[in-house]
Amino acid sequence: MIPVSTPCLNGKELEYVTDCIKSSWISSIGKYVTQFEENFAGFCGTAHAISASNGTTALHLALVSLDIGEADEVIVPDLTFVASANAVLYCGARPVFVDADEKTWNIDPSKIEENITERTKAIIVVHLYGHPCDMDPIMKIARQYNLKVIEDAAEAHGAEYNLKRVGSFGDAGVFSFYGNKIITTGEGGMITTNNTELMNKMRMLRDHAMSKTKRYWHDVLGYNYRLTNIQAAIGVAQMEQIDGFIEAKRRNAALYNSLLNKIDGLTLPPEANGCRNVYWMYSVLIEDDFGMSRDDVMARLQEKGIDTRPFFYPLHQLPIYRRDAVYPVSTMLSRKGINLPSGTTLTETDIRKVCEAFMSIKK
């Protein structure tokens, strides 16, 4: 079976984890946590990076620290992983969904303004499957309406928009290091920001909101959202390889593109002008003229030893987020979209096998 993704742990992960164990620094204080945060901020081009226990807690921490709370509304793309909206609900706020843009599969900037009300406090943009959002119009709207911007970059480490890395545009950028992400720490997350005050607040809230000057004194409700030194040790080793991982993803995408563009009825993944897609997932749309439904394609590929994933369901269809409004583009993308094997350890032979399987089921 060719898997959708497998983590690549061939660097110094074991050496650094062993160092943690031998030195007994296994909890959330230790040199690897600091080093991982510094390396990650440098990679994104931001002043600060704060690690967290996973991408979801990182999102929650960012929202709470930006004072998102009850009665607030937060704009969220309709097509994303559920965690992007769940973090809004954790704050007691209401996610307001915006349809996707057919050209990027990300939030459609031209549909944001019509969803802004006097309660809107923030926009969460998601750089879905590794493609950056169209940040110029988004930041313009945010400035105009005085909204905070949180970039959910859980799937897009190193993606660039006009030569600037994602996670460096908004008030905060959020990353995930789950096992299938571009780099992994098993579970883990990171928040990037240029705002020193926000960074200090996030550090405080991440650690039970303990007073810096008075131990066991807590002025506000805090959380334990810390990453461990062992996880960070894996992260430091992964950061030493991240450029190679991204190159591998882009090389794989180029090979997929060159082989799959010969097949009618497939739409290949976008890379908009000025954007550097990191292809966290190499994804295609099975168009109606392919001659077979997306789910049938997935089943046929499975029979041929190829693992795939469907696109996320549009959030407005999920029971907890049911909305009456229509979201034609995200609904269409969700129905047609499929993630193909996309791991950094894929070989050229694997990719050729996937594409040959596609050609054979088309016949």
Ligand X SMILES: Cc1ncc(COP(=O)(O)O)c(C=O)c1O
Question: What residue type is 267 in one-letter code?
Answer: T
Q: Contacting ligand X (CB under 6 A), which of 155, 161, 201, 298?
A: 155
CB of 177 to ligand X, least distance (A): 7
Nearest approach in angstroms of CB 176 to ligand X is 3
Q: Measured between alpha carbons, how far is 239 from 229 in angstroms, rounded to an integer?
A: 15
* Residue from the set 28, 46, 65, 80 that interacts with ligand X by CB under 6 A: 80
Task: Give the integer Cα–Cα distance in Å for 36 and 308.
Answer: 31
The CB density around residue 238, as the number of other CB atoms within 10 Å, is 27
Q: Which is nearer to ligand X, 84 or 342 (CB)?
A: 84
Closest distance of CB 95 from ligand X, Å: 13
- Reduced to 3 states (helix: H, G, I; strand: E, B; else coil), residue 208 is coil
- 84 makes contact with ligand X (CB under 6 A): yes
- 55 scored as a contact of ligand X (CB under 6 A): yes
- Parallel, antiparallel, or unpaired for β 282-286 and 266-267? antiparallel
Q: Is 170 in the site for ligand X (CB under 6 A)?
A: no
107 belongs to the binding site for ligand X (CB under 6 A): no
Candidates 12-20, 133-141, 149-157, 247-255 — which segment interacts with ligand X by CB under 6 A? Answer: 149-157
Question: Binders of ligand X among 32-51, rule CB under 6 A?
Answer: none
Question: What's the min distance (Å) between Cβ of 188 and ligand X?
Answer: 7
Contact flag: residue 185 with ligand X (CB under 6 A): no
Q: Where are the beta strands (DSSP E) in the chain?
A: 48-52, 73-77, 94-98, 120-126, 148-152, 160-161, 164-165, 172-176, 189-193, 266-267, 275-276, 282-286, 309-310, 337-340
* CB 213 to ligand X: min, Å: 32
The piece of 26-34, 79-87, 228-236, 266-274 that touches ligand X (CB under 6 A) is 79-87
79 binds ligand X, rule: CB under 6 A = no
230/275 Cα distance (integer angstroms):
34
Q: Closest CB to ligand X among 79 and 275?
A: 79
Q: What is the CA radius of gyration of the chain?
A: 21
Could you tell me which of 125, 129, 99, 75 has the C-alpha nearest to residue 311? Answer: 129
Q: Judged by CB under 6 A, does residue 189 bind ligand X?
A: yes
In this structure, the number of other CB atoms found within 10 A of the CB of residue 79 comes to: 31
Asked if residue 56 binds ligand X (CB under 6 A), the reply is yes
Please tell me the count of residues contacting ligand X according to CB under 6 A: 14
Please identify which residue in 5, 28, 39, 54 interacts with ligand X, judged by CB under 6 A: 54
* Chain position whose Cβ is nearest to ligand X: 55
CB neighbours of residue 70 within 10 Å: 8
Tokens found for residue 5: 């993704």
Return the exposure string of 181-219: e unless at least 16 CB atoms fall within 10 Å of the residue's CB, then b.
bbbbbebbbbbbbbbeebbebbbbbbeeeeeeeeeeeee
- Closer by beta carbon to ligand X, 79 or else 306: 79
Residues that bind ligand X (CB under 6 A): 54-56, 80-81, 83-84, 126, 152, 154-155, 176, 178, 189
